[in-house]
Amino acid sequence: GQSLEQPSEVTAVEGAIVQINCTYQTSGFYGLSWYQQHDGGAPTFLSYNGLDGLEETGRFSSFLSRSDSYGYLLLQELQMKDSASYFCAPSLGNSGNTPLVFGKGTRLSVIA
């Protein structure tokens, strides 16, 4: 079967660094995406890992280890506006023609 796990809630202090972990189990895997969703808003794309390693985009970085079926999103220099839900969304197939799987996401609260 398929499973996707990430923490339901994380709280961090403004200016700090926070890591949101994601583990998945699936018979097929193509890549891992991360999306951000503010309250009342729509999910928006943050990053994609197709290969093992770290991808950096400004204050955000995303990491993937295929052998461990594991990835994480790293947010640095946290700002209040980073308070949102974050979804890891694996593509659970063996090609780029497999849709993403979202779950319940991780709700990040940034406090002063």
Partner 1 sequence: DAGVIQSPRHEVTEMGQEVTLRCKPISGHNSLFWYRQTMMRGLELLIYFNNNVPIDDSGMPEDRFSAKMPNASFSTLKIQPSEPRDSAVYFCAGGLGVGDEQFFGPGTRLTVL
Cα–Cα distance between 40 and 100 in angstroms, integer?
A: 21
Instruction: Count CB-CB contacts under 10 A for residue 91.
Output: 21
φ, ψ of residue 74 in degrees (nearest 5):
-115, 125
Nearest distance, CB of residue 37 and partner 1, angstroms: 8
Binding site residues, partner 1, CB under 8 A: 30-31, 33, 41-45, 48, 87, 91, 93, 95-105
Nearest distance, CB of residue 103 and partner 1, angstroms: 5
| Nearer residue to partner 1 within complex by CB, 11 or 44 | 44
| Nearer residue to partner 1 within complex by CB, 36 or 78 | 36
Q: What secondary structure letter does DSSP report for 5?
A: E
| Nearer residue to partner 1 within complex by CB, 62 or 78 | 62
Structural tokens at position 40: 């009342």
Cα–Cα distance between 112 and 98 in angstroms, integer?
A: 40
Nearest distance, CB of residue 66 and partner 1, angstroms: 16
